[in-house]
Amino acid sequence: MFQSALDKMLFLTHSTMLNSLLKTKIAGTPTPFYYYDLDFLQETLQSALKISTKYGYFLHYAFKANADDRVLFIIKEAGIGADCVSGNEVLKALKTGFLPEEIFYAGVGKTDKEIILGLEGKIAFFNCESLQEITVINEIAGKMGLKAKIALRINPNVESHTHSYITTGIQENKFGIQMWELEKVFSIASELKNINLDGLHFHIGSQITDLEVFANLSHKVNEINDWFINSGFKASILNLGGGLGVDYNNPDVFPIPDFENYFRMINSHLKPHPGQDIHFELGRSLVAQMGSLVTRVLYTKMGKSKNFVVTDAGMTELIRPALYSSFHKIENLSRSQPGVASENEDIRKYDVVGPVCETSDFFAKGIDLPLTERGDILAIRSAGAYAQSMSLDYNLRDKAEVIYSDDLA
Ligand SMILES: Cc1ncc(COP(=O)(O)O)c(C=O)c1O
C-alpha cells in the first residue's frame, strides 16, 4: 500500500521519469551509470524526519549505504547527523560540513590512526565494540590530552530475521560487547580517566522487514538500560542503530519505507528514562529507492535451458546479488513502460548477468522480461544503497558515473 497519495505520485514520477529520460536525453549516454532521483531522496528524508521528529527522535545517516558527495550534502542540509564506520568516512563527514557533535563513529576495528583522527575532529561519540578498544582509545586520548566520549555498542542477542550476512546483533556475530561482558566492561570503562562513557548503542542488522524485531530490540534495550541505571549510570543517549528494510520486490508500490510504523513500534515499546535522547542511524531506508543502476545489454545468449542477458554492468557496480543473493527488480526500459506490461509483449525467462569473470556475477536468475536484445537499456532498481558504495575495480573495470535527476532537468 502507498502510505499516501503523494508517495504514489512521487514514485510514479520517479519510474516514468527515468523511462522517458532514458528514451530522450540520455539514450546516448555511456553505460553503466547510477541514476539518482534527488527529489525522491528529499521526499524520503522529509518523510523520515517528519515522523521521527514527532517522537523527539534524532536521525543520523549511515554513510556506508551511499557516500556520494551530492547525496551526503543533501542529507546534511536536511539536518540529519552522520554515522561513520571508518576514518575516511569521518573525514568526509567533516569535509561535507556535518558538525562534529553530530558525528558518531562505529566499527569493530578502528585503527590508532582512525582513533586519533576522530579525537582531533572532536566527534560526538566513538561507539566502542570491545574493552580492548576502549582501553586503546583511553590511552591515545590521554597522550593527546583529550577525553573521548564513548557509547558502548552492545550485542543484545536479538534475532533480526534477515540474511545471515547482514545480521549483526546475535552472539556469534563479531559486533559489539556481549551481554555477559557488560559488568566487567562497565566497571573498568567508568574508571578510565580519558573516557567519558555517555551512551548505549545497538545495531542488530540490516534490511529488517519484520517490525516485531524492533519491538524485541526495544525490550532488550529497556532491560539493559535499566540494569545500567540500577548500577548508577544513566546514558544520555540510546542509539538504536539502523536496519529498517525497503521493498526490493515492489519499489513502485512501496516507494517510501514504512517510517510511520517503524518509529511508532519503537515508541510504544522503548522505555527511556527522563533526559535520555533516542538516536537512529538509518542507511538503506533513506537512499535505496532513489537509485537505479542503468545498464546496456551487450549480448543475449539463448541456451537450451537458460537464456542469458549479458549487461555492461556487473557485480563491480552492484554486488548485493552476488554477496547475499539479493533480489533487485529489473526493467527493460527499451521495451515497455516500467511496471506496465503491454498485452502482446513477448515475455521470456532470463538470467541477467554481468561481464565479470565470476559465476556469481549476476543480477537476477530466471526472471521475466520482454524479449530483450543487444542495445536495450535495463534499469536495476533500488540501487541507491550499498551499490555505488560497495563498487569495486575488479577486472580493472572503469568506475560507473552518477547521473542526477537535476542534471537532466
Ligand atoms: C553500525 C551501523 N549502523 C547503521 C547501519 C545502517 O544500517 P541500514 O542501512 O540497514 O539502515 C549499519 C549497517 O550495517 C551499521 O553497521
Q: Is residue 397 part of a domain?
A: yes
Q: Does the beta carbon of 285 sit less than 6 angstroms from any atom of ligand 1?
A: yes
Residues 295 and 283 in one domain: no
Residues 114 and 260 in one domain: yes
**Please, are residues 320 and 65 in contact by the beta-carbon 8 Å criterion?**
no
Q: Is residue 29 part of a domain?
A: no
Q: Does the beta carbon of 255 sit less than 6 angstroms from any atom of ligand 1?
A: no
Residues 121 and 173 in one domain: yes
Residues 176 and 317 in one domain: no
Q: Is residue 228 part of a domain?
A: yes
Q: Bridge-partner residues for 35, per DSSP?
A: 292, 403
- How many angstroms separate the Cα of 33 from the Cα of each of 210, 291, 292, 300, 401? 32, 10, 8, 20, 5
Side-chain half-sphere of 376: how many Cα atoms within 13 Å?
22
Q: Does the beta carbon of 154 sit less than 6 angstroms from any atom of ligand 1?
A: no
Query: Tens digit of pLDDT for each residue in 285-312?
Result: 999 999 999 999 999 998 888 999 999 9
**Average pLDDT of the chain?**
91
Residues 391 and 327 in one domain: yes
Q: Does the beta carbon of 243 sit less than 6 angstroms from any atom of ligand 1?
A: yes
Count of domains for the chain? 2
Coil vs helix vs strand at 332: strand
User: For position 3, what pLDDT does the model report?
Assistant: 42
Ligand 1 atom closest to Cα of residue 107: 1
Q: Is residue 10 part of a domain?
A: no
Coil vs helix vs strand at 39: helix
Going from the Cα of 64 to the center of ligand 1, the distance in angstroms, rounded, reads: 8
Q: pLDDT exceeding 70 applies to what percent of the chain? A: 88
Residue nearest to atom 16 of ligand 1 (CA): 203
Strands 33-36 and 277-282, bridge-based pairing:
unpaired
Cell of 183: 559488568
Residues 236 and 376 in one domain: no
Smallest CA-to-CA distance from 241 within 162, 132, 354 is with 162
Q: Bridge-partner residues for 119, per DSSP?
A: none
Going from the Cα of 208 to the center of ligand 1, the distance in angstroms, rounded, reads: 11
User: For position 10, what pLDDT does the model report?
Assistant: 43
User: For position 29, what pLDDT does the model report?
Assistant: 81
Q: Which domain holds residue 69?
A: 40-287
Residues 177 and 91 in one domain: yes
Rg (the chain; Cα; Å)? 22
Residues 89 and 168 in one domain: yes
Q: Is residue 399 part of a domain?
A: yes
When pLDDT is cut at 50, 70 and 90, the band that residue 17 belongs to is low
Those residues whose C-beta lies under 8 Å from the C-beta of residue 135, and which sit 6 or more positions away, are 188, 192
Query: Tens digit of pLDDT for each residue in 167-222?
Result: 666 666 777 788 888 999 999 999 999 999 999 999 988 999 999 999 999 999 99
Smallest CA-to-CA distance from 211 within 170, 158, 262, 162 is with 262
Coil vs helix vs strand at 151: strand
- What is the rounded CA–CA span in Å between residue 72 and residue 66? 8
Residues 340 and 202 in one domain: no
Q: pLDDT exceeding 90 applies to what percent of the chain? A: 78
Q: What is the CATH number of the domain that holds 124?
A: 3.20.20.10
- What is the rounded CA–CA span in Å between residue 89 and residue 82? 9
Q: Which residue in the block uniquely carries the three cell numbers 552522520? A: 82
Amino acid at 227: W
Residues 175 and 50 in one domain: yes
Q: What is the CATH number of the domain that holds 345?
A: 2.40.37.10
What mean pLDDT do residues 147-162 have? 86
What's the length of the chain? 409
Q: Bridge-partner residues for 36, per DSSP?
A: 291, 404
* Residue 12 in this model has a pLDDT that exceeds 60: no
Residues 310 and 276 in one domain: no
Q: Does the beta carbon of 169 sit less than 6 angstroms from any atom of ligand 1?
A: no
Query: Tens digit of pLDDT for each residue in 322-370?
Result: 999 999 999 999 886 655 556 667 899 999 999 999 989 999 999 999 9
- What is the rounded CA–CA span in Å between residue 143 and residue 285? 40
Ligand 1 atom closest to Cα of residue 281: 4
- Domain-terminating residue out of 265, 287, 309: 287
* Residue 165 in this model has a pLDDT that exceeds 80: no
- Domain-terminating residue out of 237, 269, 287: 287
> What pTM does this model have?
0.92
Residues 302 and 280 in one domain: no
- Domain-terminating residue out of 266, 287, 308: 287
Smallest CA-to-CA distance from 195 within 131, 256, 257 is with 131
